[in-house]
Amino acid sequence: MSETGQGLSIRAQKVRGIFNEFDSNRDGCLNRDEMAALVIAVNPRVKFSKDQIEAILDEVFRTYGEFIEGQKGLSFEGLLRTYDDGAGDVDRDFDALGLHLASASIAGDGNDELQTAETKINSRVDLGGSGSRLPTPSIADEASGNVVKRSSIVGAWARSPNHGITYDETWGFIEELELRLKEYEAKQQQKQRDEKKGGGGLNGVDTAAAAADWEDGVDKGEGFDRRRREDELGSESAAFKKRLVEFREKAGKVQTPEQAFDRHMAMGRCLLEHHWYEEAIKSFDLAERLKPQDVRAPFLMGNAYYSLGKYVDAEKKYRVALEAGEANSVQWKDLLPQVHVNLGIALEGEGMLIGACYHYREAAILNAKHYRALKLLGSALYGLGEYRAAEQCLVEALVLKPDYADAHCDLGSALHAQADDDKAIQEFQKAIDLNPNHHDALYNLGGLLKDSGRYGDAAEMYAKVLALKPGEWRAQLNRAVSLLGAGDYEEARKAFKEAFKMTNRVELYDAIKHLKQMQKRPKDLTSAIANVDSLFVIVENARFRPAPQSNTTAREFLACALNIRKFQKHTRLYRCDVDDLRREIEKKYFLGSSRSTAIPNDNKVEKKELEKSLHQLLGFLTPDTFQGAMRAINEKIIAVLDPTGSAVRVDAGMFFAVLAPLCAGSTEKRKRLVFDILKWHAPSGREGIIPNTDAKNYIKYLRAIYLPDQGTSELAEVHGDEDKVQVSYPEFLIMFDDTNWGFGILNTLVKLETGDRVRHTGITCVTCNYVIMGPRFKEITKNFSLCPTCYSEGKVPADVKLEEYVFKEYSNEADIMDRFKMFRSKKGLTAVPAQPVT
């Protein structure tokens, strides 16, 4: 008889008996009080403190949030999942409570069927839940007693039609391995109890926290394993590893390759369930060698690599699985969506959101009911700044699964980005109702409240975030800003100091210094703001004039250059050497002056391929930072090259040509690379020239992207070169350097690159009171100084009224020399030392 048989399995009936025993209000769920009673009852020898119980419940309700039904609590399926995940021993707890199967009858009509979910809902990576249907374990004719015994020893995965055990002989092999694993882990648990004088989880150990490894994405570095540190048991760990080698050798000593494959797969899956990731990889590798066409071995090996934080290795294995699956798509049609999802997740782990979106879309196409693929696609699109598309995907995911807390949270973020704050608050609140400890929902709701001026409520939200994650410096910084907005200067100062201790960023030091100055002003925020506004006025551009014989940057050019520099810093393009960009382009897209087979005749390449190239060039960035860079590039550059947002491919030549001026290197190298890209981009022709139309189109794109407010009129109107067919490099330079219709602002940008991080120690801006960084602009008649931002915005002190303001620009070196000259003149010394006659 099969374990599931009629109605619930014996194991599930026992869980139902435990559930009914503690469902005191008979609402079909276990609330926190009922769950606390269950934990205490099944651990009679452990004396839990109140804090320990709360910590256990927080972990359970967070880890199994998908099974929480509003305010009612954990459902029966959720409790069953905790036992399936190893958070407790069903037989032990059932016997300890003195229950009997006769009293464990199912509430209701008795027709519920046990759903052995193969995909861990709370896992970041899909374990593979609906792959192709393979031969089921031939255990139907065995005595029911043996089946129950097996079900209590081996995890639910063993009965899976996808990753389960196929041959009878494998059962005894895996049962023995399970017993050895549990013996080893029991010693670890005993050692932890001896050290901590207590435990957590349903069986006295904090297994819920261990299960959260998957949910958190397991970005802990190579070899990380929270549940098992090899130094915990010393020589016993080495002995156990040796035993695993013996098990693996035994697995290969069978009659047929199919049986060996079954054993290696079962051993790998068993080790994977117990978080022995590196050992699981060895077993899956042996299985893959036996059946290279089978999707499951590389797929599960990818899961193990992901759990170790080895995203590149995980991506490679998922691609192997995808290739095998697509070669026989009929057999693997149910597993292919999950391969796409996990490949997308691995790419996200590396920071590549565009590539991840591609695979999430493929998963959603293959399985229209894959709500998780839709949610992940929506989240990735939000990360790329495509808010409308993200909203649509997240709404579709919530139609399929209305109680998906993460989807509600991300939908709230997408709505807030589109300024639909009322709906956004509702979505954040839904996520918090489903999971009161939803860190992201609390943080994002705090940001929305802060942006809308509800500073007190925002500070309260950030306080809740800090209660969950005390080391979250961004939450502490935002709390400080919110407290400042609420007028609580003393608490804001303390919060700023705490944030400064957490991160030691110089910006926070400046903020604290600025706050001290603010405290000397009216305590009421409205009065303070009015007071600040009254300190300066904004004058029109015509009243700003550079000092005679000075190299002072014009105000309007500086404003544009500051915006470009901000984008350059955000994307870290200033750290990408222009020579590296040239090598990447020549290697992947063009070969010398001849067209490479890497791109089609229309010069268009898939966006995900361009993302790969940037990932290679910006390989020094962390995944999160690279995601932020790609979001900025997608919003500012790709959105112009693909205005509809619907194209999969964009013009690779134009893409790299507009990036080149912002990369590191001399201006000559940057311009030369642009010209060479346009030369390679054009059809073959004479060496050293490019089509005039390409040159003008490039300038148009350049100005539309970086100078959208300056206009993109035809250069021919100025230069009279409309009839010109070809353009040489010197002619292109004239077009490029044109101040009004080209990109002459590059020279101003280069000046900022070399000095915008320099601090003018002891000199503050007269309007904003911050220490001046970068170029300093000094009004030569009234001797006051402005920072670059205030100068570009035209701010001057309200009490200094002039018909014309004359400014001289100082770099840090010039500033020092100027003050040195002033010092010598005051002392009656010669301003400049006399030079010897030559």
Q: pLDDT tens, 559-598?
A: 999 999 999 999 999 999 999 999 999 888 865 444 444 4
CATH of span 1-115: 1.10.238.10
**Residue 645, pLDDT score:** 81
pLDDT tens, residue by residue, 393-436: 999 999 999 999 999 999 999 999 999 999 999 999 999 999 99
- The answer to which of 55-69, 177-191, 209-223 has the lowest mean pLDDT is 209-223
| Main-chain phi, psi angles of 779, to 5 degrees | -80, 120
Q: Which of 261-270, 671-680, 825-834 has the lowest mean pLDDT?
A: 825-834
- Tell me the per-residue pLDDT of 797-834, one tens digit each, with 9 for 90 and over: 988 889 999 999 987 655 555 554 555 555 555 544 44
Percent of the chain with pLDDT over 90: 42
Asked if 93 and 42 count as a contact pair (C-beta separation under 8 A), the reply is: yes
E-state strands within 244-384? none
Confidence of residue 683 (pLDDT cuts 50, 70, 90): low
Q: Bigger pLDDT: 344 or 489? A: 344
**Mean pLDDT in residue range 260-275:** 91
What's the confidence (pLDDT) of residue 606? 92
Q: What is the CA radius of gyration of the chain?
A: 33
Range scoring the smallest mean pLDDT among 506-520, 534-548, 700-714: 506-520
The yes-or-no verdict on residue 717 having pLDDT over 90 is no
**What's the whole-number average pLDDT of the chain?**
79
Instruction: List, in order, residues 6 or more apart from 381 with CB less than 8 Å away.
Output: 357, 387, 389, 390, 393
Q: What is the dihedral of CA 776, 778, 784, 789, to 10 degrees?
A: -40
Domains 1-115 and 124-334 share a fold: no
The DSSP result for 154-188, as a single string, is S-GGGG-TTTS--SHHHHHHHHHHHHHHHHHHHHH
Q: What is the pTM of this model?
A: 0.73
Residue 217 above 50 pLDDT? no
CATH of domain 124-334: 1.25.40.10
Instruction: Taking residues 329-347, report their average pLDDT.
Output: 94
Look at residue 784 and tell me whether its pLDDT is greater than 70. Answer: yes
pLDDT of residue 88: 74
C-alpha span between 661 and 749 (Å, rounded): 10
Q: Which has the higher per-residue pLDDT, 195 or 477?
A: 477
Q: Is residue 172 very low, low, confident or very high in pLDDT (cuts 50, 70, 90)?
A: confident
Q: Domain boundaries in the chain?
A: 1-115, 124-334, 336-522, 572-752, 759-826
The mean per-residue pLDDT over the stretch 78-88 comes to 78
| Among 347-351, 449-453, 486-490, 795-799, the least confident range | 486-490
Residue position matching structure tokens 């770099």 = 811
**Eight-class DSSP state of 89:** -
Say whether domain 336-522 belongs to CATH 3.40.640.10.
no
What is the chain's percent helix, strand, coil content, to nearest 5? 60, 5, 35
Nearby residues of 441 by Cβ (< 8 Å), 6 or more positions away: 405, 408, 409, 412, 428, 431, 432, 435
Given the DSSP bridges, would you call strands 805-810 and 544-546 parallel, antiparallel or unpaired? parallel
Rounded-to-integer distance, Cα 488 and Cα 524, Å: 9
pLDDT at 235: 63
How far is C-alpha 743 from the chain's CA centre?
34
